[in-house]
């Protein structure tokens, strides 16, 4: 999801749940008819919604929304306090990076991404030529943000952003997005029924926030409208335009996995603490396959930061300015690494080579569905086997882990998958 720079960190926290609940899951979420309905919520509002909306009218007019359009867009608008629940949600389970990446960059998404590269080859060639961003990187963003357009969210933006403008934290920010949504409608780029997205306001194939849509969306198909909802060409080009404006360097890599010499301390190193590539070579770093760091357009003066997302015992990466450009799309290093790694996989590279420092590696979406199917057969009420590991699935896994003599972590990792497979095999032999 795209953020204005002043809000990158705060809003990326808001939207990390969207990846956990929708994209890692990988199942489609159909867009409902745009009608203002109030979802179930335990939230007790602090303000009268209609009075708040009426009070925002002068601010909206000052922000460029005509009085008649403001009245039109807010007529019969009702709140959806479930978005405040999302805003305030504190997950009981923190997703380790090996789980995050295994769900976002799995064989299913790589295969689908390669299909998209072929299907949209002509458009992507034009996009890459126009903005200098590789097609694989653009498609990787598309895959992670909406599973290639399958997942766009279910919340009518005027309703969600109107509610967030009147209740909860960061109301001033969401008011800006509320007014930006109205300006988009006012210009005729999109229709109201198309403005459906995440609970926090991101929408379209590559999940732009409305204000960033205004700033960076482009009309690439030449129909006179910037349409990131129904025009794949506009969405892909707008994504490339975003990355270019955030500093993408054509012909340069985002980074690569490296091998750190035994005994070398990497304490204090980070993505931000960049040093010349010559420094890292002098320290004895090589690419993970043993090749020297300097390849392609890199020079000894190219600045690079050392990033170890799981500590010194896990995979370590040298990252360049292009990684920072990806990071700006959603300010989280795990997110940026997922985009970067998926782009590599789409270009034919293999998985990350160094093992993650865990005895229980992550599972793909297909493997998570397999775990859920086992739980369903055991009689657990966890909903559909959709690959989404929510609280009910984790509780069922804990119960099964206890029964099987495993530590009750609630994780849908390789250990519980192996145990389920072995038990299934034994039952088949009986």
Lowest mean pLDDT among 35-39, 231-235, 289-293: 35-39
| pTM, 2 dp | 0.90
| DSSP per position, 387-418 | S---HHHHHHHHHHHHHTTS-------HHHHH
pLDDT of 43-72, one tens digit each?
888 989 999 999 999 999 999 999 999 999
pLDDT of 334-386, one tens digit each?
999 999 999 999 999 999 999 999 999 999 999 999 999 999 999 999 999 99
Structure tokens given for 26: 């990988």
Residue in 42, 34, 32, 15 with CA at minimum distance from that of residue 78: 34
- When the pLDDT of each residue in the chain is averaged and rounded to a whole number, the result is 90
At 329, phi and psi to the nearest 5?
-70, -35
Is the confidence at residue 428, as pLDDT, over 90? no
In degrees, rounded to 5, the angle at the alpha carbon of residue 246 between the alpha carbons of residues 243 and 252 is 65
Which residues on neighbouring strands pair with residue 323, listed in sequence order? none
Which sequence spans correspond to the domains of the chain? 5-245, 255-319, 365-429
User: Residue 380, by phi and psi: left (phi above 0), alpha (psi -120 to 50) or beta?
Assistant: beta
Lowest mean pLDDT among 84-93, 164-173, 193-202, 413-422: 84-93
At 41, phi and psi to the nearest 5?
-160, 145
* Confidence (pLDDT) at 1: 53
Element (H, E) at 324: helix 321-327
Grade residue 90 by pLDDT with cuts at 50, 70 and 90.
low
Residue 282, classed as helix, strand or coil, is: helix
- The separation between CA 304 and the C-alpha centre of its own chain, rounded to angstroms, equals 24
Grade residue 105 by pLDDT with cuts at 50, 70 and 90.
very high
pLDDT of 381-419, one tens digit each?
999 999 989 899 999 999 999 999 999 999 999 999 999
Q: Is 67 exposed, middle or buried (0-12, 13-18, 19+ CB in 10 A)?
A: exposed
Strands 255-259 and 286-287: antiparallel
pLDDT of 248-289, one tens digit each?
999 999 999 999 999 999 999 999 999 999 999 999 999 999
Sign of the four-CA dihedral 281, 284, 289, 291: positive
Q: What gap in Å lies between CA 330 and CA 309, rounded to an integer?
A: 16
Q: Is 350 exposed, middle or buried (0-12, 13-18, 19+ CB in 10 A)?
A: exposed
Strands 196-197 and 286-287: unpaired
Structure tokens given for 45: 């509002």
Residue in 293, 269, 297 with CA at minimum distance from that of residue 281: 293
Structure tokens given for 83: 């978005």
Q: Is 186 exposed, middle or buried (0-12, 13-18, 19+ CB in 10 A)?
A: middle
Beta strands in 95-145 (DSSP E): none
């Amino acid at each position: 999801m795209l953020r204005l720079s002043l809000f990158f960190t705060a809003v990326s926290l808001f939207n990390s749940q969207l990846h956990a609940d929708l994209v890692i899951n990988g199942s489609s979420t159909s867009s409902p008819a745009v009608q203002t309905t109030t979802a179930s919520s335990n939230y007790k509002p602090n303000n009268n919604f209609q009075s708040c909306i009426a009070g925002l009218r002068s601010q909206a007019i000052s922000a460029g929304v005509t009085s008649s359009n403001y009245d039109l867009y807010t007529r019969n608008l009702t709140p959806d306090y479930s978005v405040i629940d999302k805003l305030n949600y504190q997950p009981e389970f923190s997703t380790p990076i090996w789980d995050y990446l295994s769900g976002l960059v799995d064989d299913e998404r790589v295969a689908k991404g390669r299909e998209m590269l072929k299907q949209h080859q002509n458009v992507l060639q034009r996009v890459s030529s126009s903005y200098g961003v590789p097609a694989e990187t653009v498609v990787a963003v598309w895959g992670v943000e909406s599973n290639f357009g399958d997942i766009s969210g279910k919340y009518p933006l005027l309703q969600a952003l109107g509610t967030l403008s009147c209740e909860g934290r960061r109301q001033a920010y969401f008011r800006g997005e509320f007014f930006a949504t109205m300006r988009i409608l006012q210009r005729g780029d999109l229709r109201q029924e198309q403005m459906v997205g995440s609970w926090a306001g991101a929408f379209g194939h590559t999940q732009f926030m409305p204000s960033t849509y205004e700033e960076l969306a482009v009309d690439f198909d030449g129909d006179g409208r910037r349409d990131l909802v129904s025009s794949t060409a506009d969405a892909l080009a707008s994504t490339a335009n975003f990355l270019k404006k955030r500093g993408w360097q054509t012909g340069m890599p985002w980074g690569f996995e490296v091998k750190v010499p035994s005994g070398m301390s990497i304490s204090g190193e980070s993505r931000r603490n960049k040093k010349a590539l010559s420094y890292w070579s002098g320290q004895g770093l090589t690419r993970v396959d043993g090749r020297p760091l300097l390849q392609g357009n890199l020079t000894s003066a190219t600045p690079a930061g050392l990033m170890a997302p799981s500590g010194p015992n896990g995979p370590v990466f040298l990252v360049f300015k292009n990684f920072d450009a990806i990071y700006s799309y959603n300010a989280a290093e795990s997110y940026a690494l997922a985009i970067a790694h998926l782009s590599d996989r789409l270009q034919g590279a293999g998985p990350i080579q160094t093992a993650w420092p865990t005895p229980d590696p992550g599972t793909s979406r297909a493997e998570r569905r397999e775990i859920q199917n086992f739980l369903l057969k055991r009689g657990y009420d966890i909903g559909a086997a959709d690959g989404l590991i929510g609280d009910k699935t984790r509780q069922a896994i804990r119960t099964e882990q206890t029964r099987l003599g495993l530590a009750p972590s609630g994780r849908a990792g390789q250990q519980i998958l192996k145990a389920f497979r072995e038990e299934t095999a034994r039952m088949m032999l009986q």
